[in-house]
Amino acid sequence: MQQHGDQYIGGEWRPSLGTESVPVLNPATEQVIASVPAGTREDVDAAVAAARAAARSWGATTPELRLDHLTRLRDGLAARQAEIAETVVAELGCPIGFATSVQAALPLGVAHSYLNILAEYEFSEQVGNSIVYAEPAGVVAAITPWNYPLHQIVAKVVPAIAAGCTVVLKPAEDTPLVARLFAQIVHEAGFPAGVFNLVTGIGAVAGAALAAHPDVDLVSFTGSTAVGRSIAETAGGGIKRVALELGGKSANVVLPGADLGRAVNVNVGNVFANSGQTCSAWTRLLVHQDQYEEAVAIAAKAAAKYVPGDPTAAETRLGPVVNARQRDRVRRYIETAVGEGARVVAGGPEAPEGLPVGFYVRPTVLADVTPDATVAQEEIFGPVLSIIAYRDEAHALEIANGTDYGLAGGVWAADNETAAAFARGMDAGQIDINGGRFNPLAPFGGYKGSGVGRELGRHGLEEFLQPKSLQF
C-alpha cells in the first residue's frame, strides 16, 4: 500500500501540516490501496499563499511562454497514458477499456485543444476608442469530482493556466491518486513555483476552506447541485466569481421516424458507461407511446450485454460504482422506483450474482416510469435507465424540460433538421442530434440547477479571463 504524506505546494512536495489521512479504496476489491493526507485549513492557506505569490508574475507572462509549458504538460500526459488508465481503474473501478479510451485519452485531447486555442487567442481588441484586454482572473480554486477525475482536472487547470491564472486543486477524496500523478507531470513540465498547487483532503474541510478563502478570486467546482449551491453562497459572500458544473437528469427524446433500434442501443450504452457515473448521461429515455413496448424490449436486450465484472479484464464493460455509499444509494433508488410502480425489465436492486466483493450494481432498465417519479426527477448517478412514454411532441418537450436540471440531452428523428428544431426548445446546455459525437471544443455546462458557466473550448478559457478597457 502506498502511504503518501505530502502535498504539492509552491513547486515542491511538502509534508502535510495535518496528521490525519484519507484511505483510498479499490472499488472492485474493497481493499485499501493507498492513503493521502487529509489536508487542513493550514495546508490550504499555504497553497493559496503560494498561488497568490505567483499570480502577478505568471499573469504577466506571454501566451507563447505559457504555451511552451503547456506543451510539455500535454507531452507528459501523452507519455503516461497507460499509467493514468491503470490508476483510474484502481481507484475508480472503471473498466480498463473505458479508462484507456476515455479516462486517459479525453484529458489528453482536451489539453491538446487548448494549445491550439491559446496559440490563436487574441487577448486584446480595439473597441471604438478603447482597447479591451482579457486579463487573468487571478487565483483559482479548482474542486473536482471522482467520476472523470483527470478529465475534470485538465478541463479546469489547463485553461486556467493558459489564461494566466494560478491554481489550487482539491480533488475528490475517492480518486486522489490520478491527481497526484497529474501534479508530478506538472512538476516535470517546469512550471514556476506556485502556478499549480495540490491539496488532497475531505471536501467539508479542505474544499470548504479553499472555496471560502479570501485570497481566492474564482471558484471552479464540479459536483452535486447541493454542494454547488453552498459554494455559490460562500463565494457570493466574498464577491468571488464561480463556475459550477453540477448535476443532470438528461432526456433522450426519440421522435417518430427515427431509427428506434439505434437510438435505444446508443442510449443504453450512454447510461451504462462509467457505471452510470456521468452527470450528462441520458438517464430518461422518452419514446412515443406507439413505439413504447418495442423500445422497452430493445433496451432490455441491450442491457444484457453489460455484465458487471473485474475492471482489469479487457472484456468487462461495467465495473463497480465508486464506493459503498454510492452502491447503496443506487439500489435504494431502484427499490423506490419499484415501490412507485415501475417495472424492472433488466437488473434490479439485488446484488449481482457471483460478485460477493466490490461495490457492484446490476445494470437496470425501468419501464412504466412516470414523468414525476422519483427516479425521473432526481439524479441517481448509477447504471439505471428510466423509459417514459409520451403522447406527442409537445408532451415530450414538457417531460424533457420537467426537472430542476438542464445539463444535456439527445434527440433522434428522421432527419437532423427535425431533431435540431425540437432540441432548440429543450432547456439544456448541450444536446446530441441523432447520435452526434462529443466535441471537446464546444462549451460544456448547463441550464437551471445544472450550474453556471462553461467548460471546454474557447468558452472554457474565457471563464478564467476578465476584461479591462482603456479609453483613449
**326 lies in the same domain as 193:** no
- How many domains does the structure of the chain reveal? 2
- The percent of the chain in helix, strand and coil, each rounded to the nearest 5, is 40, 20, 35
Residue type, 42: E
Quote the pLDDT of residue 321.
98
Q: Which residues of the chain have pLDDT under 70?
A: none
Q: What is the pLDDT of residues 429-464, one digit of tens each?
A: 999 999 999 999 999 999 999 999 999 999 999 999
The pLDDT assigned to 1 comes to 85
How far is 341 from 368, CA to CA, in rounded Å? 7
Reading the block at residue 378, the C-alpha cell is 432526481
CATH number at residue 32: 3.40.605.10
Nearest to 22 by CA among 10, 35, 11: 35
Residue 420 · residue 437 · CB < 8 Å: no
Whichever domain contains 377, its CATH number is 3.40.309.10
Name the amino acid, one letter, at 279. C
Say if 445 falls within a structural domain.
no
What is the predicted pLDDT for the residue at 392?
98
Q: Which domain holds residue 231?
A: 2-246+450-471
Closest CA to 231 of 245, 221, 216, 246: 221
Three-class SS state of 281: coil
Residues 259 and 242 both lie in one domain = no
Tell me: the pLDDT tens digits for 217-243? Answer: 999 999 999 999 999 999 889 999 999
Do 433 and 465 have their domain in common? Answer: no
Same domain, 125 and 191: yes
Same domain? For 82 and 119 the reply is yes
Instruction: Please check whether residues 294 and 236 belong to one and the same domain.
Output: no
Active-site annotation, residues? 245, 279
Instruction: Determine the pLDDT at residue 142.
Output: 98
Indicate whether 242 and 364 sit together in one domain: no
